Every structure is written in structure tokens, then in C-alpha cells.
Amino acid sequence: MAKTKRNAKKPEDSPEADSGHDLRKRAEALASEAPQDLDALSPEAARRALHELRVHQIELEMQNEELSRAQEELEASRARYFDLYDLAPVGYFTLSQEGSILEANLTAAKLLGVPRADLVKQPLSRFILPEDQDIHYRQRKKLLETGAPQSWELRLLRKDAEPFWARMEAAFARDTDGASVWRATVTDITEKKRAEQLIQAHSDELHEFAHALSHDLQQPLRTVINLTQILSEQYQGKLGETKDKYFAHCIESALKMDVLLKGLLEYLRYRAR
């Protein structure tokens, strides 16, 4: 005989409860059909009744095992859901069309510094820096009008802490009941923004240095060109053909350098626009 497992208690409106109710009705029907006087049963009838009871017992044991297996699979599925959703490295939100938070994972609550239960039914705009509200409004409007996924960067408010930069990626979806919602992921990009600002600051410093150096070099270079041209004209043919070539080469090289400096200054002015 297969070992019978104790079945977990099911809600009265669950499918398992309905199945148990049907089995109960079938058992009661069989019991009512069975003769009350067991002594009156013939050996053949007794064997049939015993066989029927044995079949039902095995059937119940098999169903109980199936229910236990389904329960284990459900628990495993819940564990996977917890790992994939609640413990994800990014924040997950499900929002209504109006922007109210319907669901949020633990990471999202941690990012905002608010208990997850306190996020539900709150407008997401409550956690957006006032200066970035327009960015969020335009992108959400575009998402709902086009249905195409959108992404944008903005600053979010964290309770009892400084605002932080976040990247939001959102997509239009349908909820289980068919209602229009949009789902969004939120990633903290504060360190990325700090690195970008640092790079930009260094780039600005380099730009200023290159501009000042190029500008400062132009005047002495122009002096070198002018003096070399004067000397070349004064001593043309007097110092020999080789010296004349030296003068010509010096003037040509200085003029090339002057062109390069002017080009660099034009490029730096263009980058500064």
C-alpha cells in the first residue's frame, strides 16, 4: 500500500476543495448504495465492496500525492519569484496610467528608503525631484501615446538622504484583469553621473588649457615668421644656395604651424558652442 501523505488544508473556494467535495459526495453515494446488513452480503458481493473501497482508497492516496507535489511546485515557484523579482538588483514598479504605484519590489522600496507597503497607491511623482518633474511627465505621456518603450534619466528623492540619479525604463502592459498599466525598472546611476561630471570637468580644463596655449603661441610664432622672412629677403643670394634653402624651409614650417594653431583654435571654439 502506498504511504498516504497528509494534505495541506485548502481554502474552501480552491480547486482542491472542490475536488474534495466531489469525492465526499461520491463516497456518500457509495455508502448509501451499500447494504446496511453486512452479514447479508454474499461472499462475491463482499469481495466487490472490498475491492471498490480499496480502489477508492488508492485513488485518494494518489490524489493526495498529486496535491502535495503541486504544493511543493507552488512553493518552489514562489521562491523563484522572490529571487527574480524582490531580490533583483534593480527596482521594479507596476503603475497605473495615472502614475500611481500598484506594485513595487523590495529593491525599489530600498532605493526610495520607504517600506514597500507605504509605496502602494502613492503617485510616483511624489518621489521625483521638482526640477525633473517635466522630464518624467513628457516621457510618461509619450509612453502612453505611442505604446513604445521609453527610457529617461532623472533625480529621485530618497527619505532622509540626498536625491540620487536614476535611469528609468518603462513599457506599456496589461494587468491580469486587462487594465492598462505600465511597468518600469529603476536603476541607481549616481556613480555613473559623478564619473561623467568628473570627465566633463577635466575636459573643460583641458579645453581651456589648449585654447590658452594655442592663443599664446600665435604671437611669438607670427614674430618668428616675420623676422625669418625679413632675414631671407635681406640675405637672399648672399649666403649661398644652401642658406637660402634653410630660410625657405624655416618659413614654410612656421607657416604650417600657424595654420595648425588656427585650425585648433577654430575647433576649440566649435566645441565651446
Average pLDDT over residues 219-239: 83
Distance CA 261, CA 199 (A): 25
Helix axes 190-234, 241-272, angle to 10 degrees: 150
Look at residue 159 and tell me whether its pLDDT is greater than 50. yes
Q: Which helix (H) or strand (E) holds 6?
A: none
Q: How many CA atoms lie within 13 A of 237 on its CB side?
A: 0
* pLDDT tens by residue, 243-272: 888 888 888 888 888 888 888 878 777 776
pLDDT band for 8, please (50, 70, 90 cuts): very low
Largest pairwise CA distance in the chain: 150
Query: What's the pLDDT tens digit per position in 16-30?
Result: 455 556 766 766 666
Query: What is residue 157's three-state secondary structure?
Result: coil
Answer whether residue 115 shows pLDDT above 90.
Answer: yes
- Cell triple for residue 205? 580644463
Q: Which residues contact 27 (CB under 8 A, 6 or more apart)?
A: 56
| Averaged pLDDT of the chain | 81
The three cell numbers locating residue 229: 622672412
Q: What is the dihedral of CA 197, 201, 206, 211, to 10 degrees?
A: 120
Taking the mean position of all CA atoms in its chain, how far away is CA 109? Answer: 14
Continuous segment of H or E residues that includes residue 128: none
Q: Which range among 1-5, 66-70, 199-203 shows the weakest confidence by mean pLDDT?
A: 1-5
Q: Which of 186, 120, 185 is nearest to 155 (CA)?
A: 186
* pLDDT (0 to 100) of residue 10: 47
The string over 37-59, giving b where at least 16 C-beta atoms fall within 10 Å of a residue's C-beta and e elsewhere, is eeeeeeeeeeeebeeeeeeeeee
89 and 107 Cβ atoms separated by less than 8 Å: yes
Which strand ranges, in their side-by-side order, compose the sheet holding 150-156? 101-104, 91-96, 180-188, 164-174, 150-156
Distance CA 111, CA 90 (A): 9
pTM value surpassing 0.75: no
Q: If DSSP codes are grouped into helix, strand and coil, which group holds residue 76?
A: helix
